[in-house]
Amino acid sequence: MSATFQPLSGIRVIELSHMIMGPSCGMFLAFLGAEVIKVEPPEGDKTRHLTGMGRGFFPTFNRGKKSVQLDLKSEPGLQALNKLLATADVLVENFRDQTLAKMGLDPDRLRKKFPGLIIASCKGFLHGPYENRTAMDEVVQMMTGMAHMTGPTGRPLRIGSSANDIMGGLFGALSVLGALIQRDKDGQGHQIRIGLFENCLLLVAQHMVQFDIEGTEAPPMPEREFSWPVYDIFLTKDNRQIFVGAVTEGQWVKLCQILDLKEFLDDPGLQTRMDQIDARSRTLPVIEAAIAERLFDDLVAEFEAAGLPFSPVLRPAEMYDDRHVNRPGGLLTSELPEGGRFRAPGLPVELDGNAVNGAGVDLPSAGEHTVEVLHALELTPAQIQAASGLTESGTA
């Protein structure tokens, strides 16, 4: 079962952004029912044309939006944008501050012109010494210590997804929701600035706090000091990797019973969690050998029945074959403007026990809604053509 959850129905969002952070903010708002109008340049958002690891950027984070093409380097394009903003509740942008100011779109001027507008600015940094620096996900991961914590000593590594950009977009959407509620109380628009760096800083906060309290630095995750008796990856008899955890005395007992390790259960030196942690150097090789004698599917069945934390070690592409991912509502199917379809997750929440579906998840073609949206603003065909920077044939 799925539920249509559109609490933002009737809210109009104008999105001036590309890549991931800003678009993900707009996507989350679209999933909650807002009308999100993505403003693209005459040549279209450059993210549309990325290949390789960037191929999934535009399709994933621009689902459920409308597309309007405007030439913001021209006066007609800026005039059309201002007409559009006059009808909007929210502006999501990720331009450099200086670029916005040159176009007359800096937040201070926008708030004077549109006092009810909520402006969500997705930036690299909040105001401070670094506010004008260029930031990317990899940059802030290196700056905050996230990369240090992810790779082994001397080999900092970024994590394997654009987690900061996506989470930054989520903080943007969360702040927009708060600002909409506040606007209902005070009748005023508000300016929000979301920092990619500060987002990543929050993700490493637990390691900062450990140092602040204890004066000790956590080692990188590949070399971490274990707080659990078993928290490791093993290889089964049929050569499959499996992560297994035993983090309580009860889970330790269940694991030993499943693996027929009676000698561990009878060992007086392995009766408390700290005993078991301190003995990892001698217990793990035995556990590794026991798991190597068992078939993957058999272990999975027993671990699941016993309530042990475990997982196969999988690749993202394998998620399309996962039975839980394929539960009703687990994947949403979107239409590509050039033809074809793709499947991607929606909001990771349920409403009253049902998966949440937004108003739509298809991708717009570049400028698909230009005429529709600008005509509603009472622009003439000639004005629309001048504002969009497109010829009658639709080319830039």
Q: What is the pLDDT of residues 320-332, one digit of tens each?
A: 999 999 998 899 9
For β-strands 310-312 and 241-246, DSSP reports them as antiparallel
The pLDDT-based confidence of 247 (bands split at 50, 70, 90) is very high
Confidence of residue 65 (pLDDT cuts 50, 70, 90): very high
Report the percent of the chain where pLDDT is more than 70: 97
pLDDT of 117-136, one tens digit each? 999 999 999 999 999 999 99
Spatial distance between the Cα atoms of 218 and 342, rounded to a whole number of angstroms = 40
Q: What is the pLDDT of residue 223?
A: 86
Q: Which residue has the tokens 């839980």?
A: 324
Reported as a pLDDT band with limits 50, 70 and 90, residue 106 is very high
Residue 312 has pLDDT above 80, yes or no: yes
Q: What is the pLDDT of residue 2?
A: 58
Q: What's the average model confidence in pLDDT over 301-325?
A: 96
Q: What is the pLDDT of residues 192-224, one digit of tens each?
A: 999 999 999 999 999 999 999 999 999 998 888
pLDDT at 225 exceeding the cut of 80: no
The answer, yes or no, to whether residue 108 has pLDDT greater than 80, is: yes
Say how far apart CA 200 and CA 219 lie, in whole Å: 18
Percent of the chain that is helix, strand, coil (3-state, to 5): 45, 15, 40
The confidence score (pLDDT) of residue 324 equals 95
Half-sphere exposure of 145 (CA within 13 A, CB side): 14
- The answer, yes or no, to whether residue 13 has pLDDT greater than 70, is yes
pLDDT of 393 above 90: no
Q: Residue 386: which of 73, 36, 38, 15 has the closest Cα? A: 73
Q: Tell me what pLDDT residue 142 has.
A: 96
Q: Quote the pLDDT of residue 358.
A: 63
pLDDT for 90 equals 98
The reported pLDDT for the residue numbered 359 is 64
The mean per-residue pLDDT over the stretch 254-278 comes to 95
Between CA 1 and CA 189 the distance in angstroms is: 37
The pLDDT of residue 353: 87
Q: Say if CB 191 and CB 109 are below 8 A apart.
A: no
| pLDDT score, position 360 | 82
Q: How is 28-78 classified by DSSP, letter by letter? A: HHHHTT-EEEEEE-TT--GGGG--GGGTTHHHHHSTT-EEEE--TTSHHHH
Read off the pLDDT of residues 147-181 as tens digits, 9 standing for 90 and up.
999 999 999 999 999 999 999 999 999 999 999 99
Q: CB neighbours (10 Å) of residue 335?
A: 15
Judged against a pLDDT cut of 60, whether residue 387 lies above it is answered with: yes
User: In this model, does residue 395 exceed pLDDT 80?
Assistant: no
* Domains delineated in the chain: 2-204+324-388 (3.40.50.10540), 226-316 (3.30.1540.10)
Length of the chain counted residue by residue: 396
Q: Mean pLDDT, to the nearest integer, of 93-107?
A: 92
